[in-house]
Amino acid sequence: MIDLINYLIKYAEKLGIGCLWFDGSPDNEPYSRLTLTNSKEIVMNINWKHAKAIPFEIGHLIGHLEHNDKHKDETLLKIERDKNEENAELYSVGLISGYVLKNKIEFNSYKDLFCYYGIPLRLLKCY
Ligand SMILES: [Zn+2]
**How close is the Cα of 30 to the center of ligand 1, in Å?**
10
Residue at 57 is within a domain: yes
Residue at 18 is within a domain: no
Reply yes or no on whether the pLDDT at 35 is more than 80. Answer: no
Residue at 24 is within a domain: no
pLDDT band at 126 (very low <50, low <70, confident <90, very high): low
**How close is the Cα of 109 to the center of ligand 1, in Å?**
25
Reply yes or no on whether the pLDDT at 37 is more than 80. Answer: no
Residue at 30 is within a domain: no
- Which pLDDT belongs to residue 107? 95
- The stretch 31-52 carries a mean pLDDT of 87
**How close is the Cα of 59 to the center of ligand 1, in Å?**
10
**Across all residues in the chain, what is the average pLDDT?**
92
**How close is the Cα of 113 to the center of ligand 1, in Å?**
21
pLDDT band at 60 (very low <50, low <70, confident <90, very high): very high
Long-range CB contact pairs, 122-127, < 8 A, 24+: 123/89, 123/90, 123/93, 126/90, 126/93, 127/93
Reply yes or no on whether the pLDDT at 33 is more than 90. Answer: no
**How close is the Cα of 84 to the center of ligand 1, in Å?**
7
**How close is the Cα of 22 to the center of ligand 1, in Å?**
19
What is the extent of the structural domain holding 82? 2-13+49-126
Residue at 44 is within a domain: no
- Which pLDDT belongs to residue 30? 87
Of 84, 62, 60, nearest to 72 (Cα)? 84
Residue at 119 is within a domain: yes
Strands laid side by side in the 17-22 sheet: 17-22, 40-45, 31-34
What residue spans of 15-77 are helical by DSSP H?
Answer: 54-66
Q: pLDDT per residue over 65-115, tens digit each? A: 999 998 888 999 999 999 999 999 999 999 999 999 999 999 999 999 999
Please check whether residue 70 is in contact with residue 64, taking contact to mean a CB–CB distance below 8 angstroms: yes
pLDDT band at 39 (very low <50, low <70, confident <90, very high): confident
Return d(Cα 88, Cα 46) in angstroms, integer.
Answer: 21
Domain count, the chain: 1
**How close is the Cα of 69 to the center of ligand 1, in Å?**
9
